[in-house]
Structure 1
Amino acid sequence: MKNILLTAVLLVPMLALPRAQADDLTCSGTISGRSIDGNVQVRQGASCTLVNTRVDGDVKVSRGGSLILKNTQVEGNVESDDGFVRISVQGSVIDGNIEAQRGRDVLVGDTRVGGNIELERNTGALTVSRVTVDGNLKCERNARTPQGGSNRVGGNREGQCSRL
């Protein structure tokens, strides 16, 4: 009985210890078949490819950066800084939003998005095709009209994406 009480006294304070923080990752190159417990940052000017990967956080693309997601699940958002080069999301699941603003090329295909897709003030080719969006599909002030189709949108289709 004393051993059980002693064990309980020693273990209870450990339950109150703070949990370890998630391991954020800076990506340059290809990551395949991995689970990332945290955010992924594509650094300035870098190119990052995530294949068959799970990200338990957000993916953020810095100025001059490029991102390719293939068969990847992101628990958070896919976001960009002004001046990104390319974002390509194919055959993936994004639980949050895809927000690409003031960059160049964006391709989203055969993907499920739990939040919104927002493409604003981009200068390159934009394609949204065979995508299920639980929220809104919004495209505004892009230099080129977005292309694509066969999308399922739970919310509103807005601006340049109104016919997609």
Structure 2
Amino acid sequence: MSTTRIISTLATAALATTGLVAVAAPAQADRTCSGTITGRTIDDDVVVPAGATCKLTKSVVKGNVIVRRGATLQGWQNSIDGNIQSEGHRYVRNTWGRVDGDVQLEGGSMHHLRGLTVDGNIQLEGNRSTQNVIRNRVKGDIQLFSNRSGTKYVYDNSVDGNLQCKSNTPAPKGWNNTVRGTKEDQCRRL
């Protein structure tokens, strides 16, 4: 028997005779939301399943909020430690809250982002239908790229980074955005 195997066997025997056994702590599971969550603290991600609707109100999420294909998120006065992420959402409405990461909505339909404090970026790409980005305080950039159809309003935002809009049809409309970086392309006059 090898020296390593002998030491391992002796260590296991010693733990067994003293009653000390190491047990891994259970992993936190994602919280699925297909109804209403109000006034809760959630220690992991919140996932809105495909086709479901989640109303998330006055809650603290210590992970990300992930919105699956065809799903709806209606958020109000939440604090999210991570990101809001979606590929193919039906509707994302998040108002008067805080996001410590990014808001990343791609390839979905409608969204309404209003009165948020976002420590990262707001990134909207390849979406369709109405898109509103209103009265947000963003420490990074606001980016609208290749969004098609529907009206896009971008107004009354405060942006520490850049306001970038490119290849959107129709071009975004807006006014009164305060930008420390640059206003670029379709957003240069907003």
Name the TM-score, length of structure 2 as normaliser: 0.73
Preserved CA contact (<8 Å) 1:42 1:65: no
The total of aligned residue pairs comes to: 146
Q: Tell me, which stretches of 5 or more residues in structure 1 are unaligned?
A: 1-16
Q: CA deviation at 1:62?
A: 2.1
Task: From 41, 46, 54, give the equivalent of 1:25.
Answer: 46
Structure 1 segments, 4+ long, off by >3 Å, are: none
Cα deviation digits, residues 36-76 of structure 1 (max 9, x gap): 00000011101101101000000012214321111110000
Query: Residues of 2 paired with 1:55 and 1:89: CA distance?
Result: 14
Percent identical across equivalent pairs? Answer: 33
Q: How does 1:65-104 map to 2 (within 5 A)?
A: 65-82=90-107, 84-104=108-128
Query: Residues of 2 paired with 1:64 and 1:71: CA distance?
Result: 20
Which of the pair has more CA radius of gyration? 2
SS in 2 for 1:144: coil
Name the TM-score, length of structure 1 as normaliser: 0.84
Q: For residue 146 of structure 1, what is the amino acid of its counterpart?
A: P
1:37 paired to 2:62: yes
- Give the RMSD, CA atoms, in angstroms: 1.7
Q: How does 1:111-150 map to 2 (within 5 A)?
A: 111-123=136-148, 124-150=150-176
Query: Residues of 1 paired with 2:171 and 2:106: CA distance?
Result: 21
What residue number does 1:163 align with? 189
Choose 29-38 or 64-73, whichever is displaced more: 64-73
Q: Tell me, which stretches of 5 or more residues in structure 2 are unaligned?
A: 1-23, 29-42
Q: For residue 46 of structure 2, what is the amino acid of its counterpart?
A: L
